[in-house]
Amino acid sequence: MVTPEFIVTISAESLQMALLIAAPMLGFGLVIGVAVSIFQAVTSIQEMTLTFIPKILAVMVSMVIFFPWMIQMMVDYTANIIINIPQYIR
């Protein structure tokens, strides 16, 4: 039987997995964004497009680096959900 506690637990695990998978990309984007902001402040260059290209490249590089790990995490989580379906529907 599906209880409110079960729904809250599954929702919390799903959100935790989503944050865990997104963390490397967000971290790389944050570090590059701070570095570009410091560079702009030091050089007084206030070009708005200067912040976007390095962040996009950093996120793409982090996706390439962490893609196998992210896929493995998603596959493990999905397999765990599918394997436990009989327990969920009792």
What is the longest distance spanned by two Cα atoms in the chain?
A: 64
Work out the pLDDT band at 47, boundaries 50, 70, 90.
Answer: confident
User: In the prediction, which pLDDT does 87 show?
Assistant: 86
**Helical (H) or strand (E) element with 61:** helix 52-83
CA-CA distances (angstroms) from residue 48 to 16, 25, 36, 52, 80?
A: 33, 21, 11, 8, 44
The 10s digit of each residue's pLDDT in 4-46 is: 898 999 999 999 999 999 999 999 999 999 999 999 889 988 8
Q: How far apart are CA 38 and CA 44, in angstroms?
A: 10
Global pTM reads 0.79
Number of domains, the chain: 1
Q: Which domain holds residue 12?
A: 4-88
User: In the prediction, which pLDDT does 6 show?
Assistant: 87
